[in-house]
Amino acid sequence: MYEQVARNKRNTWLLLLAFGFLIAIVTWAVAFIFQAGAYAIPIAVVVALALAWSSYWFSDKIALSVTRAKPADGPEYARLNNLVEGLCIAAGLPKPRVYVVEDPAPNAFATGRNPKHAAIAVTTGLLDMMNRVELEGVLAHELSHIKNYDILVQTIAVTAVGAVVLISDFALRAMWFSGGRSRDRSGGDSANPIGALLMIVALIFLALAPLAAKLMQFSMSRRREYLADASGVLLTRYPPGLTSALEKLRDDNAVVHHAPRATEQMWIESPLPAKPLTSRGRKQSWLDRAFATHPPLDDRIAALKEM
């Protein structure tokens, strides 16, 4: 387990470099298409560094904002805060900020850049559905993501994927509405085969960059969920609690209303509508598994029952 935590930390920096490189390529393509000329590479580097820096420092605020999470203040959330505090003492972690998402669908997520700057959010549906030991199991799972440094990788991916998609979409739409004349205004590239080739390459980069970003996001091992389940059970010393919680999540079909697709991997289970072929009682295809952000809940439940 400790080896996996160390590997997660190393993968964090590799992920930062990979996303920075991808954002730099996308920005270069945009700068080239819109005639930034010799300034294309410096612009790409500056934008990549700025987005990587903002991902590191502000990704938790972005994630909490887009999911409309609010601080869990007030006496109605006393049980929630007490459970989090007790688990943090047992885990040797500083207490994260605790948030609530007003949504009837049961779900939860953790975000932040490290254990000292972390937050946990749960939906009101989760608080209504789970009993004490089940809620404790879910919170232990999320705290394990914090302790294992999964949260930094997840939040960086959310921000970086969104940035790549936004830049690519903006550039392609601008090219479409300008009739593809961004490089033809000076009349130089139409007679320059190298310029024409670079234009094609830039357009290919812009078209494929969102897919590449998503594949990088999917490449984050689903073993992180298994590890968080195992770490959570180790923390509570009561496997039936998390097992029962996952069974309730599996049997519930509600979806979180304010959960953008880019935040999917942050939640304890996917907050998006399940495809008909992946509903309970039917196996996922290899393609579904390859592009899934979470292992099937039945597999996670089976693994917990073997503990």
Is the pLDDT confidence value at 186 over 60? no
| Both tokens assigned to 22 | 């991808």
User: Which pLDDT does position 281 carry in this prediction?
Assistant: 47
Tell me how far CA of residue 96 lies from CA of 27, 71, 104, 147, 263, in angstroms.
Answer: 35, 11, 23, 11, 19
Q: What is the pLDDT of residues 124-149, one digit of tens each?
A: 999 999 999 999 999 999 999 999 88
Under 8 Å between Cβ of 48 and 163:
no
Q: Which CATH topology does 66-151+221-270 take?
A: Zincin-like (3.30.2010)
pTM: 0.75
**Dihedral, CA atoms, 137, 292, 299, 12, nearest 10 degrees?**
-60
Give one DSSP letter per residue of 218-267, joined into a string. Answer: HTS-THHHHHHHHHHHHHHT-HHHHHHHHHHHHH-----TT--GGGGGGB
Cα–Cα distance, 70 to 19 (Å, whole number): 29
Give the count of beta carbons closer than 10 Å to the beta carbon of residue 17: 11
Is the pLDDT confidence value at 202 over 50? yes
Of 190 and 33, which is predicted with more confidence?
Answer: 33
User: Which pLDDT does position 40 carry in this prediction?
Assistant: 56
Of 223 and 140, which is predicted with more confidence?
Answer: 140
Report the chain's terminal Cα–Cα distance, integer Å: 15
Q: Which residues are catalytic?
A: 142
Domain-wise residue ranges, the chain: 2-59+157-218, 66-151+221-270
Least confident of 47-61, 68-82, 83-97: 47-61
Cα–Cα distance, 106 to 124 (Å, whole number): 7
User: Which pLDDT does position 8 carry in this prediction?
Assistant: 62
Is the pLDDT confidence value at 245 over 90? yes
Confidence of residue 220 (pLDDT cuts 50, 70, 90): low
Dmax (CA) for the chain in angstroms is: 72
User: Which pLDDT does position 79 carry in this prediction?
Assistant: 95
Q: What is the pLDDT of residues 176-185, one digit of tens each?
A: 766 555 555 5
The arithmetic mean of pLDDT across residues 150-172, rounded, is 74
Q: Which amino acid is at 287?
A: L
User: Which pLDDT does position 109 carry in this prediction?
Assistant: 95
The arithmetic mean of pLDDT across residues 213-225, rounded, is 71
